[in-house]
Amino acid sequence: MSRSRMRRAMSRSRPSRVLSRSRTRDRLRAAVAVAVGLVLAVSLAACGKAAQIGERMSVAGTHHHGPLRIGLLLPENEIVRFERFDRPLIQQRVKQLCPRCTVSYSSAQHDPAAQRFQIEAMISNGIDVLILDAVDGKAVRHSVVQAHRAHVPVIAYDRIAEGPISGYVSFDGGSVGRLQGEALLRALGPKARSSRIVMMNGSSTDPNAGWFERGARSVLRGKVKIAKSYETVGWRPENANRNMSAAIAALGPYGIDGVLAANDGLASGVITALKAARIHPIPPVTGQDAEVAGIQRILAGEQYMTVYKPFKPEAYTAAEMAIAVGHGRSLDGIATHRVNNSTTRGIPAVLLEPVAVTVHNIKSTVIKDGLYRVDQICSKKYADDCRKAGLIDPDGSPHDAE
């Protein structure tokens, strides 16, 4: 072959060799990229597992150093406590701890769908942390997950909520039920074992209702006959009234020796039904929340007891938790317990102890703690009852606790 032909042949083969080398480099780069990706994926997976513990706090790396925007979502405003105590006490404590922090408030009016909308609206409006008392703990789960994804921590208040909540404060629901059950057994006395009672439980959408019921049954089991047990939809007194009327029709007007009503609102519906059936004397009826009307019924001998839950420490703790997680701090210095919901384990919690109130300790509990003044309880209608209980002197002047 001539030299000219050899040069032409070499010139034709050079581009293919250059292209081959280029492809080889591309393949090497791709292999390196895959290897790096695999290393990163393994590292991220390991970090993800380690981060699951941190996710329980739901702060997701968010640290606010300035004033917080706190959302307060309560389930209703028909139960006196929420508007009269919980809401103002939470707002008061927030202002004490963080004067420039703001509190946006919404009431769900018993409507789970409305509460979900309220949560999502607050997230969209840039809220930093939520205090949530759920109408339905399961129904809000998706909204709580949305809050978590938006780096908005959620403090469950009074009722546990499903989803990745950051903290929980309430009263020990088992203790509430046990106090009610123990009081009812004392009221029934030696005849308890042969007595028939009705259980007027709360709404099944409220996880606390089941907690109360389990606590009560743990005390009552084997010591009294539970003749009827009802769920009271929405915790509404009118539904309790209908349930009680049905129990009276089924058991007879004198076939009921006592009623374990889960709160004072249900107790009012129960007592109205007993009066309408002309049952006298009214059998012992329990309650919860220490509403003024409940205390007055106790003084009048219509309701046997209520469970007093000091709202101030509960509300103050919720405010303290919200400010802590809003600023990215741990709840270890606040929480005294750990609880689980169906999605999250080891939730930092504070579970407070409730107090049983009967006619004998009204002065040393709700009056001494400043929940009510004597004049708020002892209206003209209840003046004689208050004198008998030692709340007012014979001349009508208040006899406040020292």
Report helix, strand or coil for 134.
Answer: coil
Per-residue pLDDT, 38: 36
Tokens of 36: 């790096």
Per-residue pLDDT, 19: 39
Rounded Cα distance between 351 and 335, Å, is: 9
Nearest to 203 by CA among 76, 292, 98: 76
Q: How many residues does the chain have?
A: 402
The identity of residue 377, as a single letter, is I
Rounded Cα distance between 299 and 363, Å, is: 12
Residues 264 and 331 occupy one common structural domain: no
Rounded to two decimals, the pTM is 0.79
Per-residue pLDDT, 399: 65
Residue 280 vs residues 193, 253, 257, 274, 365: alpha-carbon distances, Å:
21, 9, 11, 8, 29
- In-domain check, residue 54: no
Residues 189 and 248 occupy one common structural domain: yes
CA 279, 195, 260, 296 dihedral sign is: positive
- In-domain check, residue 5: no
Residue 327 vs residues 70, 90, 234, 321: alpha-carbon distances, Å:
12, 17, 35, 10
Residues 191 and 294 occupy one common structural domain: yes
Residues 101 and 199 occupy one common structural domain: no
Residues 370 and 262 occupy one common structural domain: yes
126 sits in the region (left: phi over 0; alpha: psi -120 to 50; else beta) called left
- In-domain check, residue 213: yes
Residues 135 and 148 occupy one common structural domain: yes
- Say which CATH number the domain at 102 has: 3.40.50.2300
pLDDT of the chain, 402 residues: tens digit per residue: 444 444 444 444 444 443 344 444 454 444 434 333 433 333 333 333 333 323 333 344 355 667 999 999 999 877 778 998 999 999 999 999 999 999 999 999 999 999 999 999 999 999 999 999 999 999 999 999 999 999 999 999 999 999 999 999 999 999 999 999 999 999 999 999 999 999 999 999 898 999 999 999 999 999 999 999 999 999 999 999 999 999 999 999 999 999 999 999 999 999 999 999 999 999 999 999 999 999 999 999 999 999 999 999 999 999 999 999 999 999 999 999 999 999 999 999 999 999 999 999 999 999 999 999 999 999 999 999 999 999 998 776 776 654
Specify the number of domains making up the chain: 2
Domain that holds residue 329: 69-165+311-352
Residues 232 and 381 occupy one common structural domain: yes
- In-domain check, residue 241: yes
Residues 187 and 276 occupy one common structural domain: yes
Residues 266 and 333 occupy one common structural domain: no
Per-residue pLDDT, 101: 97
DSSP one-letter string for 215-277: HHHHHHTTTSEEEEEEE-GGG-HHHHHHHHHHHHHHH-TTS--EEEESSHHHHHHHHHHHHHT
- In-domain check, residue 402: no
Radius of gyration of the chain (CA): 31
Tokens of 35: 């290897």
- In-domain check, residue 293: yes
Residues 146 and 93 occupy one common structural domain: yes
Residues 240 and 250 occupy one common structural domain: yes
Q: Are strands 167-171 and 154-157 parallel, antiparallel or unpaired?
A: parallel
Residues 285 and 326 occupy one common structural domain: no
- In-domain check, residue 207: yes
Per-residue pLDDT, 63: 57
- In-domain check, residue 60: no
Rounded Cα distance between 270 and 261, Å, is: 8
